[in-house]
Structure 1
Amino acid sequence: MERQGGQPAAAASAIEGGIRARFAVGYPGFALDVDLQLPARGVTALFGHSGSGKTTCLRCIAGLEQGAQGRIEVNGELWQDSAAGVFVPTHKRSLGYVFQEASLFPHLSVRRNLEYGMRRAGAGKVSWAQAVELLGIGHLLERMPDRLSGGERQRVGVVRALLTSPRLLLMDEPLAALDLRLKREILPYLERLHGELDIPVIYVSHSPDEVARLADHVVLLDQGRVVAQGPLTDTLARLDLPAVFSDDAGAVVEAVVAAHDEHYHLTRLDFTGGSVLVARRPEPLGHRLRFRVNARDVSLAKERLEGSTILNLLPVTVLDVGDADTPAHVLVRVDAQGTPLLARITRRSCEQLGIAAGRPMWAQIKSVALLG
């Protein structure tokens, strides 16, 4: 049995009591029609290309799209039910909203910006000290907004949202306006939110690496519709997604730092199904991290190839073969002893090697992208 977006009924039952949202809203040239089943904790990413409906969906959840018809319930609290005439206005919903750019009062210091929000919201689940420490803004409290960098402004914006007593935190591409250096600066703070707070987060992004680094659950949107939703690692490795996602196809793997090779300046990462070697990492042994393997960086061979510059070779079993973004290529989903991987290869190679479900192969991983 399938639900909208291809989420099995069994998976949906595992997130009962979480966030359940159905919305329909139309504009000239665009219509959003979604049915979401989201977990009660962790980070859910709304992922899709520009114009797919990510921000519109987030605004519906916040109650900012007045024309949206539907229903939303957050951990048992009903915020909207159009059929029953129920609509809780945005300012009465227990949510925090972080926009692409933090709009701070320019005439107030950081401290007074935060105090203003707290006075309006009352006592919250997250204390002042905890929020300030989590985002590392203690040294910024007396500064004026025009003396903050873009990354600092966004961190203040996140703290302000946390101090509004949210039961749900909405983040609309909070890194979109930042350059690469500032993105790298703020991402570790967002990871701390994920690890230390028990507030569900819905995070809008069109960046595969951001999604892979931060999310536990993912919703893929295309042209206003949900095309897939579910746990991150399972969903990104599916083959039945529209070709528009093929270029971003890949697998996210949870690993642990297992060994350091000081002579060759390499680190071994172990995961369910094997291990990979990467450039020397600073993390200590036992540290857990994620890495991403893009489908275009995986090739397949019948036998283990010796004498190659590719260090990372894994025995795998072919699960299935699907279409890629061009007729010349296919996507092959393989199982590395419990870890799903994708390979993007030519259709010619697929036929010449006789690649089919159940066939043992060797996966050659040319590149691994560490997340964090």
Structure 2
Amino acid sequence: MILDVDIRHRQGAFALEARFQSSGRLTALFGPSGSGKTTIVNAIGGLLRPDHGRIAVQGRVLVSTAQDVHVPKHRRRIGYVFQEGRLFPHLDVRRNLMFGRWFTPRAERRANFEHVVDLLGIAHLLDRRPATLSGGEKQRVAIGRALLADPQLLLMDEPLASLDEARKAEIYPYIERLRDEGAVPIVLVSHSVAEIARLATAIVVLQEGRVVASGPAPDILRHTSVFTQAGLAEAGALIEAHVLRHEDRFGLTVLQARAGTLTVPRLGHPVGSRLRVRLRARDIILSVRPPEGLSALNVLPGLIASLDEAEEASVDVQLACGGDLIVARVTRKSVEELGLRPGLPVHAIIKSVAFDSEALGGAGPESM
């Protein structure tokens, strides 16, 4: 178990009661502002002392109020990356990175400087000052500095919140590499469904100081009921695919998933690349007969696995499609008129333009 949290804490009128475990390479804490995400990471990092409970990281107990254990923050071996890079403006990138070394005794240093620099793609920045860096470059340097302190866990508190879409697109692949190739598990705070769909291997959903769901990312993202405050339209299935071919003449890329082939707008990934793809429940139309004469290029056959109550006028239809489980949100009227029921063969229809490009991310060997 990488992370074991069971804490209670009151701060003014806000009461946190959070209990969850995770073995994920990247665990996302998801929820709206004020739900308790930052309170939890501050408790893990030692910036806040919870009133009651226990926190353990990779089997090492950091907090136990029952046993009067509270490891000081400088001895926790926890790296912390904030929304802003918080780099030292008077030091160049190399010396900012080396600052992380000072917190680890020489005999305990394991992180390799060259490996961290290569992993984050910042070799060409080493002699530059922070003022000359883009927002994405600053965050990559901040992550590198945290890694060079040899942490047992890396906390990232909404590290992309202050970046525009172009800078987010720049840094996503490096966080994916860190998730898949790095030796340090990550806890990422986020309020973006697209962000956690792309990056997380495990998700903890928080609402008003309580954990309302936790588990592997594909399982959590399928349940639209836990994303009510983010907008039900954001939830859906998370599946793995690889690039089968590019159709440059049409500006399209064909992906191969267990459910079948998916045609999406042209991607820059080479043939054979593994990707994780989010299929939003709102973007899937169901047909009880093989559709004909449609402009939609993606039609996946499947069987209805279950029908789950959603909001007042809607039902979430879980579909088993060739080993992948996807979800479609339909009206109650459609369920009745089409006679939808568990075990019924149906066809899921998805427009190519419906794919969420932000959530089309790399899928490493242990990313799902």
- The 5-angstrom pairing of residues 288-307 of structure 1 reads 288-307=274-293
CA distance in 2 between counterparts of 1:102 and 1:341 reads: 37
Change (3 A) 1:109 1:263: closer
Give, in whole Å, the separation in 2 of the partners of 1:164 and 1:142.
Answer: 20
Distance 2:225 2:171 in 1: 34
Matched residues in 1 for 2:145 and 2:71: separation?
22
How many percent of aligned residue pairs carry the same amino acid?
Answer: 45
Q: What residue is the counterpart of 2:355 in the other structure?
A: 368
Uncovered stretches (5+) of structure 2, i.e. residues with no partner: 362-368
**d(CA) in 1 for partners of 2:195 and 2:227?**
21
The reply on whether 1:151 has 2:136 as its aligned counterpart is: yes
The answer to whether structure 1 residue 141 and structure 2 residue 114 are counterparts is no
Whole-Å Cα distance in 2 between the matches of residues 322 and 244 of structure 1?
A: 19
Structure 1: distance between partners of 2:207 and 2:201: 20
1:82 has 2:65 as partner:
yes
Counterparts of residues 212-227 of structure 1 (less than 5 Å):
212-227=197-212
- Specify which of 285, 299, 302 is matched with residue 313 of structure 1: 299
Q: What's the counterpart of residue 261 of structure 1?
A: 247
Alignment partner for residue 93 of structure 1, among 76, 82, 86?
A: 76
Deviations, residues 266-286 of structure 1 (Å, cap 9, x unaligned): 322111121211223333332
Q: In structure 1, what is the equivalent of residue 103 of structure 2?
A: 120
Give the distance between the partners of 1:227 and 1:30, measured in 2 at CA.
17
RMSD, aligned α-carbons: 1.7
CA distance in 2, matches of 1:225, 1:335: 31
- 1:192 is paired with a residue of what secondary structure? helix
Question: What's the counterpart of residue 179 of structure 2?
Answer: 194
Number of corresponding residues: 354
**CA–CA distance in structure 1, aligned partners of residues 259 and 277 of structure 2:** 14
Pick one of 18, 26, 34 that aligns with 2:10. Answer: 26
Compare 255-264 and 57-66 and name the one that shifted more. Answer: 255-264
How far 1:310 moved relative to its partner? 1.0
TM-score (normalizing by structure 2)? 0.91
1-structure distance, mates of 2:97, 2:271: 39
TM-score scaled by length of structure 1: 0.90
Is the Cα contact below 8 Å between 1:239 and 1:322 reproduced in 2? no
Aligned residue for 2:229, secondary structure, equals: helix
- CA shift, 1:242, in A, is 6.0
Return the letter of the residue paired with 1:79: L
Measured at CA, do residues 152 and 259 of structure 1 come closer, stay the same or move farther in structure 2, by a change above 3 Å?
Answer: closer
1:65-96 CA-to-partner distances (Å, cap 9, x unmatched) read 12442111112211111101011011110110
Instruction: In structure 1, give the amino acid aligned to 2:174.
Output: Y
Name the CA shift for 1:149/1:241 in 2 (closer, same or farther; >3 Å): closer
What CA deviation, in whole Å up to 9, does each residue of 1:335-358 have, x standing for no partner? 112211111222221221122222
The letter for the 1-side match of 2:183 is: D
Q: Secondary structure at the match of 1:244?
A: coil
Q: Distance in 2 between matches of 1:207 and 1:121?
A: 33
In the alignment, structure 1 segments of 5+ residues that lack a partner are: 1-16
Q: Tell me the alpha carbon deviations over residues 117-139 of structure 1, each in whole angstroms, 9 at most, x when there is no partner.
A: 21232343321111111112222
Q: Deviations over 1:188-227 (max 9, x none)?
A: 1111111211211111111112111111111111111111
Q: In the alignment, which residue of structure 2 is the partner of 1:38?
A: 22
Q: Which amino acid aligns with 1:112?
A: R
Compute the displacement of 1:262 (Å): 4.2
Structure-2 separation of matches of 1:269 and 1:358: 27
Instruction: Point out 4+ residue stretches in structure 1 off by more than 4 angstroms.
Output: none
- Aligned pairs (5 A) from 1:2-81: 17-39=1-23, 42-81=25-64
Q: Are 1:239 and 1:323, in contact at CA under 8 Å, matched by a contact in 2? A: no
Contact 1:97 1:169 survives alignment (8 Å):
yes
For 2:226 and 2:128, how far apart are their aligned partners in 1?
47
Counterpart residue identity of residue 210, structure 1: E
- TM-superposed deviation, 1:302: 1.1
2:364 aligned partner: none
One-letter code aligned to 1:296: R
Shifted more, 116-125 versus 51-60: the winner is: 116-125
Cα offset, 1:43, TM superposition? 0.9
SS at match of 2:194: helix
